[in-house]
Amino acid sequence: MNPNIPSIDQLKEIALPAPVSYAPQTWGWWVLLAVLVGVVLWVGARRYWQWRRDRYRREALVRLEQLQKRSDELNALRELPELLKRVALSMPSLNWNTNNVGAGLLAKAVGQSTSMLNGRPSSRASPLPQGGVGALGGEEWQAFLVRHCSQPLPADFSQQLAQLAYAPDATLRALPSDKRQALFATCKCWVERHHVAA
């Protein structure tokens, strides 16, 4: 046997370096991490707040779907103006006052405008008549609908809604199918795309 051949007994285990930490090594990375976490939390909270704020919009869209699938088209058409008015009454920009949270709902209940609460005019209130959105009709209702929608609406949209609400049954039955579908599409567009104050 050759004496120069090393024996297995002479092998030694190599010492490994300490594992590298994944934690940031300088304070700048901690600050960046804190800023990123703060931004993610802020964006998440804002999205959640918007999602809760738009609950009325989601419910109205579900109701519109139900009306469109309804076999009784006459009553479905009659409900469209009421649905749009309820959506307008539910819009957060008209219901909340920064000085008195929930006062818009109280003012609506007693028939007062949300533009004047506690003797002070609200900076976020829209120019509305004494009865608020519920009292709008004709040209004022048309102007309100146009003002709050980013898409163009038919020039006689409020008149079409008034016809749906008050015309005799025979008039509504005589409406062509394409006009009925156009009314549903316009209502859906307004509910989906109307804007409210942030």
Rounded CA-CA distance 152/168 in Å is: 28
Per mean pLDDT, which range of 50-64, 99-113, 150-164, 168-182 is the poorest? 99-113
Extents of the domains making up the chain: 57-193
Judged against a pLDDT cut of 80, whether residue 9 lies above it is answered with no
> Do 161 and 80 form a contact (C-beta atoms < 8 A)?
yes
Identify the pLDDT of residue 131: 60
Banded model confidence at residue 48, pLDDT cuts 50, 70, 90: very high
For the segment 114-146, what is each residue's pLDDT rounded down to a tens digit? 333 333 333 344 455 556 776 677 778 778 888
| More confident of the two residues 13 and 129 | 13
Three-point CA angle 67, 63, 152, nearest 5°: 85
Task: Please give the average per-residue pLDDT across 45-57, as a whole number.
Answer: 92
Judged against a pLDDT cut of 90, whether residue 32 lies above it is answered with yes
| More confident of the two residues 145 and 59 | 59
Identify the pLDDT of residue 88: 83
> Do 113 and 132 form a contact (C-beta atoms < 8 A)?
yes
Q: Which of 193, 172, 171, 196 is nearest to 80 (CA)?
A: 172
Identify the pLDDT of residue 157: 81
pTM: 0.61
3-state secondary structure of 172: helix
